[in-house]
Structure formats: structure tokens, C-alpha cells
Amino acid sequence: MAETHSFRQRLLAGDRLVGTFLKTPTSHGTEIVAGVGYDFVVIDQEHAPFDRTTTDIALMAARGCNIPALVRVSGPDTILSVLDCGATGMLIPHVASAAYAREVAAMCRYKGRRGFATSTRAGGYTAVPMWQHIRASDDAVTVIAQIEDPEALDEIDAIAAVDGIDSLFIGRGDLTAAFGDETPNPAAVRQAVEKIAAAARRANKPVSVYVGGRPDAEWLQGQGATTFIFNSDQGFLRQAAMKGLAEMRDLLG
């Protein structure tokens, strides 16, 4: 799987990457997004009804379509199963301390605290020799820390410096809710974005973000973001449904 194994190298090199969230627990969204030409998908266990079986199916589809698939895990307890199922990497929510960043980075790699097995999809169902699998997996797995808690800002340089954390993802939604400022484009959130982006630059780590459209993307690209999660399968479905309905209402009067 040359494409999936090169994802971490592309991310670390600062390539401009565009992916999307998958919220619907089927294989179809993965196949459609891969066919359109996105660089990667993010299976969302945290805020969508993916369980181990449906995550496994989506990851199997990603392998079949040769598109890198990250998983936003619901918590650290699901990291091992997701990696065994063949995920390209993790988007880890609520990384609010350097200690937790070190913990989850270690859980994602065999030369850390990941439990060993080659009887999995990731291990080729025992087809891959032990040390070949260990080296290849540790080199390929991508670990992105989601920074979305105000307390994380106090440790942001230490979090960014953690070995094994490959990128910082700026969680503007949770930060906005946490600051409690209902005004559009709150100043505290903009300042947090700037602080996280600056810490990533000092640590030579790429910045990852979610964007809903071009204005967001332009601003965040100016802050140094290179990896963009754009919308979701549900978002695309709703937008297309609204557009189609409007066209039909206009036609039918």
C-alpha cells in the first residue's frame, strides 16, 4: 500500500493535503471520496456511530481504494484495535498535556507500548515477518494531536515537542465552546489558533485543521496549516440534497 505508507512522509514534508471526515458507518463514503481524488479520509469514531466492526469495514474499503485512512478515536482504548485493522494513523482528541501526548504516541508504536500481533490486517494475517512489520508500522503510523482545550495552551510548546506526535490539529469548535464567547469569530479563539500554529512552527511540526470552506482555509493556510479536513460525507450529502431540492422547487414552481 504505497499510498498509505507515504502519507506520513507527505504530511511531515508539508505537502498540501485535503481530506474529509466520514460520519456514516458504511464502506460507501470511503469508496466515493477515494474515487473523487481526496488525499485521505478521517473515520470519526468520536462524533459518529462507528464501532469496531464498521470501522473495520471502512478501513478495508480504504485499503481496497488505496486511500490513507486516519481514525479520530473515541478514546485511547480503541487505538490498538484501529491500528490492527489497518489505519494509517490516529487523530487523538483532547491532548491537553505533554504527559498525555507521550502516552498516546507510545500506544501507537511497537517501540512504545503498542501490543504486538501480525494476525491482523495490518500484519497481513501473519504474512509479514515480525520485525519487518514492526519497522514498517512504526515508520508509517501517523499521530495527530487534537488541541481543543484551553489548558492545552499552557503546555502547547511541550506538547508540540513530544517525539512521536507528528502534527497538531487545531480544534476550533471545542475551543470556541470552552471560551463561551458567542460573538462571531471570537478573539480568544483566533489568538489560540495563532499560539498553536506558532508552537508547531517552533517544533517543526505541520498544522492540521478542519475547514468548512474557502474563507476558513485561506486564513488557516496563512497561519501555516498544510493538512485540511474539509467538510464530511454527511455535509456533502446535505449540501447536494439542498441544492437539488432548490432546483426542483424552482422548476416545479
Per-residue pLDDT of the chain (253 residues; tens, 9 = 90+): 445 559 999 999 999 999 999 999 999 999 999 999 999 999 999 999 999 999 999 999 999 999 999 999 999 999 999 999 999 999 999 999 999 999 999 999 999 999 999 999 999 999 999 999 999 999 999 999 999 999 999 999 999 999 999 999 999 999 999 999 898 889 999 999 999 999 999 999 999 999 999 999 999 999 999 999 999 999 999 999 999 999 999 999 8
Pairing of the two strands 17-22 and 207-211 = unpaired
Grid coordinates given for 145 = 494531536
Q: Does domain 2-252 have CATH number 3.40.50.450?
A: no
For residue range 200-250, list pLDDT tens digits in order: 999 999 999 999 999 999 999 999 999 999 999 999 999 999 999 999 999
Residue 105: what pLDDT? 98
pTM of this structure: 0.95
Helix (H) or strand (E) holding 135: helix 130-140
Of the candidates 74, 98, 204, 217, the residue with the CA atom closest to the CA atom of residue 153: 98
Q: Which of 5, 47, 94, 133 is catalytic?
A: 47
Given a contact cutoff of 8 angstroms between Cβ atoms, the answer to whether 196 and 147 are in contact is yes
Interatomic CA distance for residues 130 and 184, integer angstroms: 53
**Helix, strand, or coil here: 22?**
strand
Helix (H) or strand (E) holding 221: helix 214-222
Residue 106: what pLDDT? 98
**Helix, strand, or coil here: 112?**
coil
Residue 1: what pLDDT? 46
Residue 47 bears catalytic tag: yes
Name the residue ranges covered by the structural domains of the chain: 2-252
Which residue is listed with cell 491500528? 83
Average model confidence (pLDDT) for the chain?
95
Given a contact cutoff of 8 angstroms between Cβ atoms, the answer to whether 71 and 91 are in contact is yes
Residue 225 carries which DSSP code? E
Interatomic CA distance for residues 196 and 175, integer angstroms: 12
Residue 155 carries which DSSP code? G
